[in-house]
Structure 1
Amino acid sequence: MSYPETYRGQCFCGAVQFTVTGEPAGMGYCHCESCRSWSAAPVNAFTLWKPEALNVTRGADDIGTYNKTPHSYRKWCKSCGGHLFTEHPGLELIDVYAAVIADFPYEPGVHVHYTESRLRMQDGLPKQKDLPGEMGGSGISVAE
């Protein structure tokens, strides 16, 4: 797939705006309890980017941060509460929620933490027990 240089995104109210540039490092669905609880949804659609691909263009002071563990720093808009992205320092990646990037051609490639799923998805994509091996997980595939 060919990606244009820049995609624009924003929080729910538009107070925080950003761009992502280039090609994502990966895309998929996360089924872990943390992502489900944070997003208040049965599954989270993610896009992973190198930190330098993300540029906050408006409202940087309106971004709040919460980290339950040192693995994930979740970011949201202080005005509307809209979720924006999650920094993963150990992976050197930022998960920008697919739903907040306007006109992004989201093409998931994997399901992670599928053993924690509350919404089974029979879409033919690989299902991982936790994370792929290259991301520090077991790399173990599970049945759809």
Structure 2
Amino acid sequence: MATRSLVLKTGDARDVGTVDALMAAAFDPRFGEAWTSSQCLGVLAMPGVRLLIAWDEEVPTGFALWRTIMDEAELLLLAVAPGHRRRGVGGALLRAMIADVAASGVATIHLEVRAGNDAVALYRTAGFAKIGERRGYYRSRDGGQHDAHTYSLAL
């Protein structure tokens, strides 16, 4: 079932509380994928960084954070609240990000994702191809290590 009234809005540093809440809901702390508020604020202050937040009515349902450098872009974070998954939110955010960077002349988009993350299917559907692997990249609170897979999309 699709989200009834999904609206995508550009965000900025004032939206870090919303981003924090979405990360807390969306990212399992076992895997160490969520960023801190300070990390988000630091990245948002950099040139070429964009934040897009998905809203269903007045409820934030997901976000995408990316940066563009010259003719390349990197998807830094994409999160969808658990109650809104499989309703098109992630796909809408990803499509909007791809359209935004394509319009600015980007030739390649990169991302990395934890091996086994359900989002891999979303990225593959959008045309991303696996190009590499970083063993033990993510470290969980219990000391576990999880591989990161790198993906790329040529525009």
Q: Do they superpose with TM above 0.5?
A: no
Superposition TM-score, scaled by structure 2 size? 0.27
More helix by percentage: 2
